[in-house]
Amino acid sequence: MSRTFAAVVAHPDDDTFGVAGTVALHADDPDFRFVLIHATSGEAGPIADPALATRETLGTVREEEDRRSWAVLGREPDRHEWLRYPDHGLADVPFDELVDRITEILREERPDVVSTFGPDGITGHPDHIRVGEATAAAFHRLRAEAVDGFERLIRVAIPQSLLDGWNEQLVAAGKEPMDPTQLYQPRGVPDDTIGLRVDTSSVAARVVQALREHHTQAGDIQDMTDDEQLEMLSREHGVVDWPPRGSADPVLHDVFDRLD
Ligand SMILES: [Zn+2]
């Protein structure tokens, strides 16, 4: 039976951090279909090396970096849509328009599982929060229309215990801990709200290689050792936003786990 997974994110590299391991685990499955939607091309982001891009070319360069990241991972999206809304400007796009654009693609694809950001946007980034809200609205609109698929909505998240562990390591190494009250710093969610925990350790080396294709964003990971990068990318977590999760429900180990 074929299964479709759709990920809806804000910027090039959000996908690498959030779902690349999950996709890599399904890379050899002929019945797996992967749909990827980027709301922006990330043109307002950092430029790690001025030789790589200018402010004018950064969006185009980052789209190409993202395409290469999936090629290096070994599983390219079956469909990849760039909505090309303004980076750092998603909150200014009329919300209904953003929902409509996402709905249109998801209606054609009827994914079994949709993944996007949760209300914390992982880092509090307003674009992340907005694309998560719009994707959830699109998901529930299509469910209400009784379109096939749309069995599960995942909001990517970081368990608080994992964030605490990273911070302990930072402090032990004499570095500043991450501060979740600051914009663009990672936030955790209570561990007991995590409904999806995917062990991506078997493909983490490939995800690290994919992440390194985002050359213009190298500043994000330049302070981390190879082992730290591997460790960070050895698992992916999410909150199961739909269907509502009971406190006794088991933690899922794959986005398609326990679907009929
Ligand atoms: Zn982002």
Tell me, in angstroms, the distance from the centre of ligand 1 to residue 33's CA. 23
Distance 13 CA to ligand 1 centre (A): 7
Q: Determine the distance separating the centroid of ligand 1 and the alpha carbon of 74, expressed in angstroms.
A: 22
CA of 41 to the centre of ligand 1 (A): 10
pLDDT tens digits in sequence order for the chain, 260 residues long: 799 999 999 999 999 999 999 999 999 999 999 999 999 999 999 999 999 999 999 999 999 999 999 999 999 999 999 999 999 999 999 999 999 999 999 999 999 999 999 999 999 999 999 999 999 999 999 999 999 999 999 999 999 999 999 999 999 999 999 999 999 999 999 999 999 999 999 999 999 999 999 999 998 788 888 998 999 999 999 999 999 998 889 999 999 999 98
3-state SS assignment for residue 132: helix
| Short-list 165, 63, 156, 64, CA closest to 118 | 156
Does this model's pTM top 0.95? My answer is yes
At residue 47, the pLDDT reads 97
Our CA angle for 136, 254, 74, nearest 5°, is: 95
Q: What's the token pair of residue 5?
A: 């997974």
Strands 32-40 and 3-9 come out as parallel
Question: What's the 184 CA to ligand 1 centre distance in angstroms?
Answer: 9
User: From CA 49, how far away is CA 238, in angstroms rounded?
Assistant: 33
Angle among Cα 84, 79, 121 to the nearest 5 degrees reads: 55
Determine the distance separating the centroid of ligand 1 and the alpha carbon of 12, expressed in angstroms.
Answer: 7
pLDDT digits 0-9 by tens, 23-75: 999 999 999 999 999 999 999 999 999 999 999 999 999 999 999 999 999 99
Rounded to the nearest whole angstrom, what is the distance from the C-alpha of residue 27 to the centroid of ligand 1? 24
How far, in Å, from the CA of 58 to the mean position of ligand 1? 14
List alpha helices for the chain, DSSP H: 14-18, 20-25, 58-73, 95-109, 121-124, 126-144, 160-172, 204-212, 226-232
The Cα-based distances of 151 to 29, 54, 139, 143, 252 in angstroms read: 20, 42, 9, 8, 14
pLDDT of residue 64: 98
CA of 10 to the centre of ligand 1 (A): 5
| pLDDT confidence of residue 1 | 76
Average pLDDT of the residues of the chain? 96
Phi and psi, residue 6, nearest 5°: -120, 130
Question: What pLDDT shows up at residue 224?
Answer: 85
Instruction: State the pLDDT at residue 219.
Output: 84
Residue 235: the pLDDT is 97
Residue 21: per-residue pLDDT: 98
Cα of 1 from ligand 1 centre, angstroms? 33
The rounded Å distance from CA 127 to ligand 1 centre is 7
CA–centroid distance, 192 to ligand 1, in Å, is 25
Q: What is the CA radius of gyration of the chain?
A: 17
Gap from CA of 199 to ligand 1 centroid (Å): 22
- One DSSP character per residue, 198-255 reads EE-GGGHHHHHHHHHT-GGGGGGTTTS-HHHHHHHTSEEEEEEEESPPPTTSPPBSST
Question: Quick one: DSSP state of residue 161?
Answer: H
